Structure 1
Amino acid sequence: MRKNERKETLNMGTPWTSEQLRAIESPARKMLVCAAAGSGKTAVLTEKIIRYVCDKDNPGNVSRILVVTFTRASAADLRSKIRSALEEKLAEEPSEHLAREVLAVSGARISTIHSFCYDLIRAEGAALGVSGNVRLMDENEEKQLMQGVMEDTIRERYTVSPTFGNLVESLVGYRNDSLLGGSLMELYDKLVNLPKGIEFVRECAEKEALAAKNDFFLSESGAAVARDIISTLLLFKKRYDRTLELIPPEHHYYSPVTADLNGLNALINALSSSYSDSRNAYFDAKTFIKLPSNGMKGYDAEKTAFKTLRARYKNYLSSLDALFAQTPEEAAYCLARHSEMLFELYETEKAFESRLNAAKRKADVCSFADLEQLSVKLLYNGDGTFSHVARSVSQCFDMVFIDEYQDVNETQRMIFDAVSCDSRCFRVGDIKQNIYAFRGSDPAIIDRLRQEYETDGLAETENVFMSSNFRSSKTVLDYVNEVFEPLFRGGKFRYEDSDKLHCGKKDKDFSKEAKVTLLMCLNGSKKEGTYAVPEEVAVADEIERIVGKVTLENGKTIKYGNIALLFRNYSTHAAPFIKELERRGIPVSVKGKRSLFAQSHVSLVLNILQTADNPMKDIPLCAVLFSPVFRMTADMLAIAKKEGRGTLWQCLKAASEKHGGIYTVAYDKISQWRELARTESCDGFLRKLYTSDGIRPLLIAQAEKDFEKRNVDDDLNLIYDMARSFSSSGNKDLSAFVADLEEASKKNLKVPGNSGSENSVTVMSSHGSKGLEFPVCFVCKANAGKSRGDSTNRLQFTAEGGVGIPLTDPRGFVLINTPTREALRLSAISAETGEEERILYVALTRAMERLYVTAGSVKPDAEYEAECELLYGGLNLPCGDTNILHVTLRAAKNLPRITNCITVMPTAEDPALTTAPAAEPEKKPPVDEKKAQAMAKTIVSRLAFEYPEPYLSRIPAKISVSDLSPSVLNEAMPSQSEGEAELATIGKADLTDFADAPAFIRSGSAVSATEAGTATHQFLQFCDIGNARLNGVEAEADRLTDLGFISERQRGCLRIDELVTFINSPFASRIDKANSAKREFRFNCFMPAHKLTDSEKLSDLLKGRQLAVQGVIDGFFLEGDKVYLFDYKTDRVPKGKSKEEAKEIFAERYRWQLSCYAEALKRIFSRKISGALIYSTALGEAFEVNADMLDD
């Protein structure tokens, strides 16, 4: 290689691309490099630094550059590459300058953001009253300190604030106030990532008060959610316009499409005006014309595509129900009350922060968030201008390099702006790889900077796009572009042709590249007696097919070590795949996280610490005696228990004195530990335990495999590091450290795991795969539901929109949603959807040569629907799909030349069946009838006490609707000797029945009719009707199973035919088309007690008394101004009865229950229902029931 050739080449001799050279050579003072996955950004950054140092006219110094990364590993890697590049340059062109610079690399400012802030605060913190010796807390120490301070704060707020109780009820409820501290600390952690900190909550409260006086959509959060809704509706509008282009005016679908579009356009226009107009237009838009079943022949693909579009549109409108649930007057009232609650929240967080800062000052410590907040205070004046500290720091550097800029938060953005105010700044990032929202990163920051540099017209600012990918094959990249074109284009953030990935590999025969493969396991059919092949089985089959047989680009056959399995939700989905691979003898390397305190070696160390602290605790002592340390048996402990009374420790002492041997060894060793615990710090105790007592080598030796030994070693080191950190905080007491560990064990602390040899299949999360690459990549569980994030929390928060919490109802029982909270929840869902898309992008771009997307339980017509989707061309998807199979399959259908769709057909054998013999039932022990009778008499006599007015003591304070009947309260008026009746009942009972195992743990039991009915009812309660119509009942059942609404056993006993009938019934359409519908409606309300009995005498006695009634209504819906109540029933039709006779039986059986529901709705909503219906799955239809038994 010629001496000057290296400047124009990457590592391995690859020439620099024009975009890379532009990033390296541009004279712009402020540059944003949008570096796509695999584009060589590290090589470019290194080259830019080398050219700065080696400039012949004006050579630079390594000491005058600042490089900020987000991990220590990245900083170390970049430092190593810069040193290697300078050493190479020094070998080519020896000079004193380069020799000095090579030595200076070790002291160069290449660090994480927090390391830089820590150095800044120790140097300049005196101006803020911060000691130069301030110590940085680790996460465990910080959490312990915060928990203690929060407990004190909560106690104080209960005392000083009369409205604090309402805040507690809003955030966690009175029954769960133990969760209050966690909720408040979680919000505080988010607030300290903002430049304004907790003052942000005060500003939100003030804005809410202002919004209450104006129209909600004129407020900040209201306007923001209106813009988001309009943006989504415009995408739907484009698809509706396209539909009208696809079908002729005389087509029978043309009129319904036009009607939908008119309502959609009206809603878009109204959203730009007021909340009231928008609400009216919203309810109008939800009125859909039924699609005609007969009409023009043909256009089957167009009809399927439109049905899918319409179902998506309906689902989206339904997601806005809560936003438009309140009248403008109700919304204003809620906003005013919400403002009051936010002020209370602000005062609580303020009191907490004040106490926390005082505790930190006393201990001379700070947190990672403090580093950022204090840095901003040092770098900015009160008016928002750069301080003299910022100018001074910036002038120390000629160039500032910031890596992974897409992952910064607003506070970090301010820090970077300040330290580069007088120097050149080189920011590198890729918004498509922003996947750390849970850490507070904000992708809008890099997007705003990109737009600013595009439009400011300044010569000193520049955007550079590095889109050439040197990692993946062209087929993989073409497929990735096709998947994300309809997701990213026209989305919330900028996406243009320059953002697409291009193959950077030159002089390559692309025609020989492997195809991208979609591996789909089709659903089984209960009617046909077939079962879906489990996804993990299909994946393992494919791995066995390609390993050792299929060749990579380098000419070598695929090894296990070339393969990775990626999961969006590792903890939920990876286990069956790992189990299947291990069952086949395929080596597996697990890169997920493990529960630290679930490991046996960690449990043993914790038990030893607990025993040394207090041997009077039997359970930890027993575990230690049974452990490999002493290897006692149950018989040995039984002997020890016979030798003494009291605790196990006292018995062990007695056995030691009498028998000696192992008892003496154990007693003496534990006594030594007790003495050591009194004299040593907790870390000193562990050090001697690990070394002098040989616990560490003993536990490592217990592990069989090398990776298991590494895990044991890492875990023991982590426990020791925790002890050192605990001791350094000033608390060296073993008791306190044990309490800290016990608290950590309750939190289920997760730690990284090492598993498998070098040549093993890697199994890891999509998050964990960022920055890695694999020749063969399986992206699994493509049709799993999206991960549910913060949008399900009571407290909603976004940095753009503010804080939202529900309000307490003055009558109790229920919480009231607020427009602001609902707007924030919708924003959170949108943000979560965007993050899911970016996580998928990261996962797909890990593949170098072969990419598989796999899915289980796929409905048979999925491929046809994907083909129909192509009729909409490149139009963006109007809202996020529930799974990634839709978009990946659509892309595959649009690129048939480079993709291969493999469908695994159902099998006649149930993979879940086992051949293990059934266990023999346990024989019941004989019962002494005389003793049973005597026990029964004793119980009855002790419970026979009567109050002077027994009927009042028998009236419950609260009762469930399921327990109600016209005679349920009549028991308060006994007409016979109840003691004798109860005795007779107990005497007849077979008391041994109480020892029977409940049905849900009896393995191998046949499915009963009751179970099938319960499972079917559970499906009806929670199913998404639109989704079931779109994707089929089987797919919806799988979705509910994945989300935990029904169990695997329930999934297997659903009455699928009856559910299909329901989904396609006029009644389901009626619910779907209703102005508003609520299902699984839980309620608590007071009812007049005298209405709940058919006894005239008792009714007179109970007049004026209220009874709290709770229950769950299957559902109700609004048609125009009429409310209809409905209830699902899965009862079988009595034999020999006609349909009409069955209806009469069901109506009489459930009339009382529906009357109670009707009364509850009347009291909650202050309006009488217009009708009550029962939907019978056995009859396959709904019918009305007279539900007026509680009417006055």
Structure 2
Amino acid sequence: MRNEAFGPEERTPKAWLDWTTERQSLASDPARSAWVSANAGSGKTHVLTQRVIRLLLSGCRPSAILCLTYTKAAASEMSNRIFERLAEWATLDDAALEKRIETIEGTRPSLAKIEEARRLFAKALETPGGLKIQTIHAFSEALLHQFPLEANVAGHFSVLDDRAAAVLLSDARRALLTATAAEDEGELADAFATVLDLADDTGLEKLLEAIVANRAAIQAFLDNAAVKGGREKHLRAALGLASGETAASVMAGAWPLAGLNGAALQRYIELALSLGGVKPGEIAEGLKAAREAADAEERFAGLLGVFFNGGGKPKADSAFFNKAMLAQAPELAPLIEEARKHITTCADRLSIVRMYEATRAALILAERLNRDYEDLKKRRSQLDFEDLINRTAALLSRSDVGAWVHYKLDQGIDHILIDEAQDTSPAQWTIIQALAADFFAGETARANERTIFAVGDEKQSIYSFQGARPERFSRESIQTERRVRAGSKYFSPIRLQLSFRSTVDVLSAVDTVFANPGNAKGLSARSEAIVHASNRIGHPGAVDIWDIIAPEPVSSEEDWTAPFDATPERAPVNILARRIAAVLEDWIGKETVIEKGARRPMRPGDVIVLVRKRDAFVNALTRALKRRGNIPVAGADRLVLTNHIAIQDLLALGRFVLLPEDDLSLAALLKSPLVDLGEDDVFELAARRAEGESLWRRLQQLGAEESSRYHRVVRMLAGYGELARNLLPHDFYARVLGANGGRRAFLARLGSEVSDILDEFLTFALDHERSGLPGLQAFVSTLEIEAPTVKREQDKERDEVRVMTVHAAKGLEAPVVFLVDGGGEAFVRQQVSDLRFLEKPQADGSMLGVPVWRAPGSASNSLIAADNERLKRLAEEEYRRLLYVGMTRAADRLIVCGYRGQRQNLDTWHAMVQGTLAHDPKGRATPMVFSAGGEEWTGHAWREARVPVAVPVREDSESKPPATASSLPRALFTPLPPQRRLPRPLAPSGTSVAIDDPEQETIVGSALFAAQTAPKFSMLRGAILHRLLQVLPTIDGAERRDAAERYLSRAVPRWPDTERQALSRAVIEVLEHPDLQPLFGEQSRAEVSVMGTLKLGSQEFAVSGRLDRLAVAGDTVTIADYKTNRQVPASVAEIPTVYRRQLAIYRELLRPLYPGKQFRCVLIFTEGPAVWVLPDPMLDGSLEELATK
């Protein structure tokens, strides 16, 4: 009996492996639909790849398979795996291929299946459409191109990249702001004025940014509102407001007070003034003022002061009563409570009404912004990435054309496979549901086998900011199973828990941490236990938990010489960075890791450092690694381009050449690697200027003399100015970084990782030239405003320590992982945008996102408070999923460490891990003192008891530690050998020219020009004769003469008959010559092209030519060359030298191709015909003569 949720009953390594193999085989069964929940490292990509191959083996058309991946990299990796497997099958022998197929399918294949498997590689390549392994965006783009009319898009549309979309959105925002001044845009102008009243310019800018970021969700709400009574009515209903409920009506309804009115109110005022003292007395005066106020708004403001404190919270009972008052009138206490609740409710309703009014204005702006953006895209026939998903979903859901599209698609897609299903957004699920809607119902369900397959892990759903909802993974599984079983098809929910990545130590730590119910909240929709098993039984592993680093007391003495933005050396981030760098210096090249079943020394590429967000720690660690033995480090995986110091230097250069009087830019430029002046040099220039004198003017004065050390700098900067005036921005910076040595200077100071940054900078410059305003000023301004983010691929092959966020590390693994906790909270309320979306359940069970804009500084309300709790819960759940993803990236060793601020947060990654593992009842965690770099610190070491297994040590070139700056290879400093010149070209028919002439690039000349007849006629006659000698040997001998005459009558109709007959006779005589019959036999070929390298003396020559005839019979190779000269040599000795050399060269080229064979070189003069066989000594002598010329 097997337990699907928790694995085999017998928990032995063999039982786990057998159970996993069985589950993988079931998941890849092409005859059933399957929903696979795969733990980290359990081989989901292997299962997905195996299913595609089994589908192909079952006879499925490659074009009928649609595999949707989350990223392009995943699609590429899967395609490569499949084609590598199929390509291997194409070359295996029958026995080996039979074994491979039997391993996959579990049964012995037939000979027909073996032959079909061998053809799969070619079939997958040649099938129109081929295997569709792509992202859902790529699939949507292809579908919209296929059905542009039905989707109402331009047939030739293009897809906007992020930068182009940002430019269009900027244009749309500009159009929006311009339109508010138009006289016929009253509603828009009023909305704009409302927003400005509620928020200043900064608030307006933030609102527009939020609208841009959430435009698709806002448009979805507006589209939904259009069919439900309009924007205002739909928004009111969503917020729970009545149709006539306004701010005025809410404030008017606050009086009279519930409970505390009439005689009760008068009784309270009298008692408070007589017995209450200060606080009750103030409240009584406030109530009197409210009773006497004529204006509802004024009265409501007074009541808020009565019942609420300065922080906006309801006042406590002690503010309303003292003991004497309660003794006199205890019946007033519940009335005060009722009145306080009444005012609290009114204040909440007023806040919601005002939020409605603010949101209404914001939606008017959003609607106009969306419309302008859509118009801009339509004019350019462009779609953005959100359009691809939304328009595809709409196309497949349309009642009028959806059936037609489905009919066409049904001819092409039979199997849908979804990778990383837990990260699929609701809009993407809509597309998948629509594609599979008819798979298991109707005629298409009975026509052929159709399946849907999904693999994912809701514990690894960490992309909520991209719309992913982890609960959808389980919900879609249930719905898919219902549809499949309703169609009487096979469906299997499958769980894969055996990890092929991590050691027992790492996985037991993961299981123990998440066995705590508090830590496991949000990992699984079904709240199932987290269970892992490791296939690496006996392999050494380790989990270390370093104690969190707290900040030291701040010294009252300030170092005024330190940069204002510098992080102190004793700051927690710097301390942790130094510890990690010191540990890695001790480990790299000395500690070992296990790869492919063998030990090898650790390399920098074996280490990943994971952080939650990119903060000061990333830069601190990069610096520490470079200082500590120059350990290679890849740098940040994502970077704002303008934040990098190299780009700031290049921008300073641009600003200087635009305005040389810009002293700050020039000072920055002088200290940059481009100029490389020191701090003292810049101080000398700046401090000794006359009043009002610019830094550039001072520099010119000091650099006027050639002997001045500033002369070089002045000439360089003046040259840059000249370049900037004459070149486009991209060409200018390319020249600075290239020919002028700028890239070399940056690499020398900042290291190799700056190269990618400079490339991205030049790419941005090139893109700007294509789409932006011309000129250097426009480029500099655009770059500073847009501040594009650079995504850098972290390639393990580069053998560098990788520092990245957990989000970026999804799908990666490493033998050694440092999980760094920055001590921050999972949810920070202040970081929530003022424009948010309240979730409202709909009748169909879906959730509608209701946009609300809470103006800056406005009062909160019950809707906002409830949404804050929802967002907090979701953020904390994803925070815990991030911890799971981070811990499971480690294969051999996991180190959990971190730092914190002055205030300790008890719900951090570090607290969850240490708080659970350090108190393990089995005693697997022991206190430990760690040390490296002369420093010691405390923590815990987590170790599982294990029986060691022997692991072989791999001794090869790959296992050697990388060279550091102190042990660079000797070859690095050895001068390169002189560059080898390419062989000079040599034409065999032109070897009469001296070959040792250095000015002569090609040896030319032709023996045809020695003929006595006119060159043109002679060349044409020779070409026709060669053509006839090429074709006629393939024709029966009795028909050759007629064929020759027919050809000549068409080719040269104006020649005299005597000339045509003479040429025909000469050809036939050659073909019928008794000594030449073997030359025209079945083992011969005509017009054979040859090419190669020939060494003559000390030089090499590239030779290419064409043999008129080549015959290979037995151990003899015959080379024949036709000559059409009218004058025929009387003997071999009279044959022209150029002909002898030509055949000698051909013989030398062919000798390596026919080792051990004799060569027979024949010259055939067609006039006669005369046949001369050139002896080998003559040919050898011709080569010697050629070499000495």
Q: With the length of structure 2 as denominator, give the TM-score of the two structures.
A: 0.55
CA contact (8 A) 1:24 1:48 kept: yes
Taking structure 1 as reference, are residues 184 and 325 closer, same or farther at Cα in structure 2, changes over 3 Å only?
farther
| 1:588-621 superposed Cα distances (whole Å, 9 cap, x missing partner) | 5245233422334323433444456666756556
Match of 2:236 among 209, 217, 225: 209
Partner of 1:699: 743
Q: State yes or no: 1:771 paired with 2:797.
A: no
Could you tell me how far 1:357 is from its partner in structure 2?
A: 1.4
| 1:412-431 superposed Cα distances (whole Å, 9 cap, x missing partner) | 22222233444532222211
User: What is the letter of the counterpart of residue 648 of structure 2?
Assistant: S
User: What is the letter of the counterpart of residue 838 of structure 1?
Assistant: R
Match of 2:365 among 334, 341, 348: 348
* Structure 2: unaligned runs, 5 residues or longer: 1-12, 93-113, 244-312, 318-339, 440-449, 555-569, 840-846, 938-1189
Partner of 1:481: 511
Distance in 2, Cα, partners of 1:396 & 1:687: 48
Q: State yes or no: 1:818 paired with 2:852.
A: no
CA contact (8 A) 2:520 2:880 kept: no
State the superposition RMSD in angstroms.
5.1
CA contact (8 A) 1:521 1:903 kept: no
Partner of 1:415: 431
Taking structure 1 as reference, are residues 906 and 160 closer, same or farther at Cα in structure 2, changes over 3 Å only?
farther
CA contact (8 A) 1:791 1:828 kept: no
Distance in 2, Cα, partners of 1:481 & 1:853: 15
Could you tell me how far 1:43 is from its partner in structure 2?
A: 0.9
| 1:27-82 superposed Cα distances (whole Å, 9 cap, x missing partner) | 234x3222221111111111111111122xxx223233222222221111111111
Match of 2:723 among 673, 688, 692: 673
Partner of 1:41: 44
Could you tell me how far 1:411 is from its partner in structure 2?
A: 1.7
Match of 1:124 among 147, 152, 177: 147
Q: Superposition pairs for residues 218-617 of structure 1, below 5 Å?
A: 327-381=344-398, 386-421=402-437, 422=439, 424-453=451-480, 458=486, 459-460=488-489, 461-487=491-517, 491=521, 494-495=524-525, 500-505=530-535, 508-509=537-538, 513-520=540-547, 552=593, 554-556=598-600, 561-578=605-622, 584-585=628-629, 587=631, 589-592=633-636, 593-610=638-655
Partner of 1:138: 161
| Corresponding residue SS for 1:442 | coil
CA contact (8 A) 2:65 2:413 kept: yes
CA contact (8 A) 2:609 2:817 kept: yes
Partner of 2:882: 839
User: What is the letter of the counterpart of residue 722 of structure 1?
Assistant: F
| Corresponding residue SS for 1:465 | strand
Taking structure 1 as reference, are residues 835 and 463 closer, same or farther at Cα in structure 2, changes over 3 Å only?
same
Partner of 2:779: 737
Q: State yes or no: 1:717 paired with 2:759.
A: yes
| 1:243-275 superposed Cα distances (whole Å, 9 cap, x missing partner) | xxxxxxxxxxxxxxxxxxxxxxxxxxxxxxxxx
Partner of 1:977: none
User: What is the letter of the counterpart of residue 406 of structure 1?
Assistant: Q
Distance in 2, Cα, partners of 1:832 & 1:415: 27
Distance in 2, Cα, partners of 1:579 & 1:36: 36
Q: Superposition pairs for residues 695-1094 of structure 1, below 5 Å?
A: 695=740, 697-704=741-748, 710-729=752-771, 731-745=773-787, 749-752=789-792, 761-781=801-821, 783-786=823-826, 788=828, 792-797=832-837, 800=847, 802-803=849-850, 805=852, 814-855=857-898, 882-893=907-918, 895-897=920-922, 899-902=924-927
CA contact (8 A) 2:222 2:231 kept: no
| 1:669-719 superposed Cα distances (whole Å, 9 cap, x missing partner) | 346434434xx5x5455555555xx14x531354138xx554333223212
Larger Rg: 2
Distance in 1, Cα, partners of 2:468 & 2:770: 31
CA contact (8 A) 1:590 1:762 kept: yes
Distance in 1, Cα, partners of 2:70 & 2:230: 31
Distance in 1, Cα, partners of 2:913 & 2:356: 44
User: What is the letter of the counterpart of residue 17 of structure 1?
Assistant: T
CA contact (8 A) 2:236 2:242 kept: no
Query: When the two structures are aligned, how many residues end up with a matched partner?
Result: 757
Could you tell me how far 1:732 is from its partner in structure 2?
A: 4.9
Distance in 2, Cα, partners of 1:390 & 1:536: 56
Could you tell me how far 1:841 is from its partner in structure 2?
A: 0.5
User: What is the letter of the counterpart of residue 341 of structure 1?
Assistant: A
Could you tell me how far 1:381 is from its partner in structure 2?
A: 0.7
* Structure 1: unaligned runs, 5 residues or longer: 1-8, 217-282, 288-322, 863-879, 913-1192
| 1:751-772 superposed Cα distances (whole Å, 9 cap, x missing partner) | 5387999666543322222212
User: What is the letter of the counterpart of residue 123 of structure 1?
Assistant: Q
CA contact (8 A) 1:565 1:762 kept: yes
Distance in 2, Cα, partners of 1:476 & 1:643: 67
| Corresponding residue SS for 1:17 | helix
Match of 2:214 among 178, 184, 187: 187
User: What is the letter of the counterpart of residue 45 of structure 2?
Assistant: T
User: What is the letter of the counterpart of residue 38 of structure 1?
Assistant: G
Partner of 1:25: 29
CA contact (8 A) 2:83 2:121 kept: no
Distance in 2, Cα, partners of 1:702 & 1:814: 46
| Corresponding residue SS for 1:60 | coil
| 1:869-899 superposed Cα distances (whole Å, 9 cap, x missing partner) | xxxxxxxxxxx96213443234315645473
User: What is the letter of the counterpart of residue 135 of structure 2?
Assistant: T
CA contact (8 A) 1:471 1:848 kept: yes
Distance in 1, Cα, partners of 2:614 & 2:152: 45
Distance in 2, Cα, partners of 1:742 & 1:856: 33
User: What is the letter of the counterpart of residue 327 of structure 1?
Assistant: T
Q: State yes or no: 1:97 paired with 2:119.
A: yes
Match of 2:137 among 87, 94, 114: 114
User: What is the letter of the counterpart of residue 821 of structure 1?
Assistant: I
| 1:345-404 superposed Cα distances (whole Å, 9 cap, x missing partner) | 222111001111112222333221122222223222158x94422442343122222211
| Corresponding residue SS for 2:535 | coil
User: What is the letter of the counterpart of residue 436 of structure 1?
Assistant: Y
User: What is the letter of the counterpart of residue 392 of structure 1?
Assistant: K
Taking structure 1 as reference, are residues 622 and 364 closer, same or farther at Cα in structure 2, changes over 3 Å only?
farther
Partner of 1:160: 186
CA contact (8 A) 1:38 1:469 kept: yes
Taking structure 1 as reference, are residues 180 and 753 closer, same or farther at Cα in structure 2, changes over 3 Å only?
same
User: What is the letter of the counterpart of residue 726 of structure 2?
Assistant: L
User: What is the letter of the counterpart of residue 451 of structure 2?
Assistant: R
| 1:207-262 superposed Cα distances (whole Å, 9 cap, x missing partner) | 5523666799xxxxxxxxxxxxxxxxxxxxxxxxxxxxxxxxxxxxxxxxxxxxxx
Taking structure 1 as reference, are residues 348 and 523 closer, same or farther at Cα in structure 2, changes over 3 Å only?
closer
User: What is the letter of the counterpart of residue 502 of structure 2?
Assistant: S
Q: With the length of structure 1 as denominator, give the TM-score of the two structures.
A: 0.55
Distance in 2, Cα, partners of 1:642 & 1:772: 59
CA contact (8 A) 1:66 1:109 kept: yes
| Corresponding residue SS for 2:883 | helix
Distance in 2, Cα, partners of 1:325 & 1:20: 62
| 1:1037-1067 superposed Cα distances (whole Å, 9 cap, x missing partner) | xxxxxxxxxxxxxxxxxxxxxxxxxxxxxxx
| Corresponding residue SS for 1:817 | coil
Distance in 2, Cα, partners of 1:663 & 1:515: 55
